[in-house]
Chain A
């Protein structure tokens, strides 16, 4: 449990081992009196093949950081990178394509399009790009999350846990550079929650995927390789390979 200083400024071309990176990322909402600083100059690297959890109290800027990293929101200043691409320089259309081709998402709820079957939801980003899925990879992902016999069902016919499994499968299906998960277990019972976290863990261990997860749940965070803790728009701490108890103990100091 050591407090680390932010890493040194990155080289111009990020190294190939970094999946995503934020450099002096600053996000300010509103102006003058009502101004709120959501991110106050965050610099951080997400290494390939690593599972990172971002924690922090409400309003700490963890969601904003994730949204900016994922190309869903724009920074006020600073830059964010996905692999070698500087997102701050992209136009809306290219940003959309980047999300489609190189980013995977798992949200807390309402992850799926209700009119499409589970299978169609899984391959949605690929379909949007007009690409055919890699069949063997698809089968592998589907069997990993255990959805084999549920592929033709619509979301309304699936349980919450099954819906999240579909969402995880979708995030994996396009082999993105990085997967962002926003409280993926927030709406699930503990059993389903464990399942999902285990799938994410396997995706990192077995398939060398990169995952960044925002969570409130110390148990969920304990599945990560490292835990970043945000407060007031800054990274205030980093835990490497923590246990759930480590996280709980640490978070207690914030009184979250």
Chain B
């Protein structure tokens, strides 16, 4: 039986190529992601191993909460005095306190901010103990007094800094200028993983961070003969401070590395989701191909059964075929994935991530995982056709091929209806009054079930749908069009599963498109209704944690023609709703006295003016979910370890601008040492146009290149622009699944044409020209492609409409359709159909008429 299987595979090898391609694409995506992920992980492991090398023990403040922005565990700061206490612990050879800030903006020589979305910029204290230090002096000397800095050599090269230059850092106090006295290296490298390091004396680092006398951590090294573990135990015993956390240097480095890796983990998860989509789409193609191959081999299989092959042997034979394809494609896909990872890694390198000796990490287990997934997906896809193959009665060897009756299957129609109803029940809350946030998950599940219902219903609706989609074709293309339509209708199961692959891709594309345009419309509406000012100043880089010093708002107010200015602050923290209930939170700070005329916030209960010092506004949805009422007292813990209590003053309903928690801007100082403003709204005097005042405003903002000045129009388009950029990335990833769908159409067409060889020969004998034949195949593909696109778009719109409904309380409350884009998708679908048909049509038209007629 094994030999028969191999023979059969070999004889169909050309037809199986596209099946393999479908598996390969999905698997490659996955293995590439795994390799990229582990390589990046290794880089950070190595990096932090270097950081911790000379450090035996690390004393840190008590943990506060987990950051929501991927910064790991937020910890309270330590007092300077702890350093001496640690140094006095038995076994400690040296101890040194350190302070570093990742949130300051450093300007390059042209006055532009360094970094951005890439590796971080660190302003920190320079370790004086050489064995504890991670950085060493490469040129010049270490900073010795306030106003002096050492920067890493790679950063200096890139920004053309030399010793003796001034370097500007923007802090909450304004612009700070330091003199460069030296260049540093990080072990053998000129930079730590592409980050930009500015080292100062400890007091200077504390001052720049706005936390004088405070430390992030104290690093200690052990005397000869004392182990790191012993040292940690000694320090713990000494009780150097309340609640402090003591770990070995290695452990601290590992934790930091894993925090950063978790940040990348999100990125990896997204890539894996797209790999899963690609594999899911590929699954349809594979199962379709096998289905057709089995159908074509009905006689062959029946003959095998007639001469005594058991059902099990037939099943094994078909599954074995699938298995061989799965393993083959898995191996190729794995290699292709390594190639993909290599490309992505080069792209990251050009982005500024540079490390010595960073090679791709390819674990043997990845090969195992990807090949297994390839095998599994192919095997699962082939099970259905394989079971059908066992049902071939031996007598079929003498009969014609059975008809495809799935278009009339009651079971299938019934199942589709059941799924439809189930999905409908699950998404129902979305259309109720004010859906609760925790219902989003069930609605999401409902949407998945609806998608499944459509896929199950596919073969039932394929025939009538193809009839409708191709209705006009006979009129414009005559008999050729008639044949295209009939051929698209003749095997509903095949047509449906071919279209299904496209349905999934297109449904996701249009879902995301419609959802994004709804989000854009909602933001526009929110800004349109909520922002009445003329100018906005906000951080130039959205990943930035540095705002503008409060002095900027005051300076703007002084500009001639400015009627009023209002500023918003922003702090990451944790809100304690009840003693047993903590929620991670971003807390905004507004100035209720200056907001009128610039921002109008939608309120659910009470007014913005109810907010004053000690008060807090809570968003309606959160208030309802958490049972918070006006008058309740909430405690906010900030990332710097400060705690303050607030009384709920009113309930807001403006998540797009206000977010969920809003306090009085004056209270931000209770949470942050030196608050900065993240958003400034400006209203001009009557009669002053934005263009009149632009130069004057620019001049005031210019010293803070981390902030950008935008008029109303620029502001809205910049928010919308962010969404568009994100969309493009998602579209690019979804394009992979659409390419697989395209391969599927081509594959099915090729196989169908092979099946119809005799019929095509007859048509050619009857006088159908080659171009008529090509046209007939082409239009068949267009019908299938249009069906997939039409259902996909319809489904995508329905899904996003539901999503918009359920997210109304989250600020997305406008349903908007990007019609030109969807028209583009439809035309693109038809064009893909044409593209997919090129090769099959060409092959069909080259048939030898006589041989075709003589085909069994």
Chain A interface (Cβ < 8 Å from any Cβ of B): 67, 70, 72-73, 92-93, 96-101, 103, 105, 107, 110-116, 120, 124-125, 127-130, 170
Contacts and interface: CB of A to CB of B under 8 A. Distances in A.
Contacts of B766: 99-100, 105, 124-125, 128, 170
Interface in B794-808: none
Interface stretch (B98-106, B377-385, B480-488, B835-843): B480-488
Contact of A128 (B490, B770, B772, B850): B772
A112 B487 CA distance: 14
Nearest to A73: B850
Nearest to B487: A115
Contact of B482 (A72, A92, A103, A116): A116
B768 A128 contact: yes
Contacts of A98: 767
A113 B767 contact: no
A136 to B, nearest CB: 22
Interface of B: 478-480, 482-483, 486-487, 489-490, 758-759, 762-770, 772, 849-850, 853
A96 B479 contact: no
A110 B852 CA distance: 11
Given A72-B849, A105-B765, A125-B766, A120 B479 contact: yes
A58 to B, nearest CB: 14
B341 to A, nearest CB: 48
A42 B853 CA distance: 24
B774 to A, nearest CB: 13
Given A93-B769, A127-B479, 19 more contacts: A67-B850, A72-B853, A93-B770, A96-B767, A97-B769, A99-B765, A100-B768, A105-B766, A110-B758, A113-B483, A115-B483, A115-B487, A115-B489, A116-B482, A120-B479, A125-B767, A128-B763, A128-B769, A129-B767
23 contacts: A72-B850, A73-B850, A93-B769, A96-B768, A99-B765, A99-B766, A99-B767, A100-B767, A100-B768, A105-B766, A107-B762, A107-B853, A112-B762, A113-B759, A113-B762, A115-B483, A124-B479, A124-B766, A125-B766, A127-B479, A127-B482, A128-B766, A130-B478
Nearest to A123: B479
B479 A92 contact: no
A204 to B, nearest CB: 21
A249 to B, nearest CB: 32
A93 B764 CA distance: 11
Nearest to B490: A115
A116 B483 contact: yes
Nearest to B760: A113
A25 to B, nearest CB: 16
A22 B770 CA distance: 26
Contacts of A170: 766
Contacts of B768: 96, 100, 128
B73 to A, nearest CB: 67
Nearest to B772: A128
A37 B602 CA distance: 94
A70 B762 CA distance: 13
A73 B764 CA distance: 12
A128 B482 CA distance: 11
A127 B478 contact: yes
Contacts of B853: 72, 107, 110
A38 to B, nearest CB: 12
Contacts of A70: 765
Nearest to A102: B767
A72 B765 contact: yes
B478 A97 contact: no
B762 A110 contact: yes
A113 B850 contact: no
Given A110-B758, A115-B483, A128 B767 contact: yes
Nearest to A96: B769
B475 to A, nearest CB: 13
Contacts of B478: 127, 130
- Of all A-B residue pairs in the complex, the 10 with the closest CB atoms, nearest first, are A100-B767, A115-B486, A127-B479, A99-B767, A96-B769, A128-B768, A125-B767, A125-B766, A128-B767, A72-B850
Nearest to A126: B479
A90 to B, nearest CB: 13
A124 B483 CA distance: 11
Contacts of B758: 110
Contacts of A103: 767
Chain A CB within 10 Å, residue with most, of B486, B487, B769, B853: B769
B762 A111 contact: yes
Nearest to B484: A115
Contacts of B486: 115-116
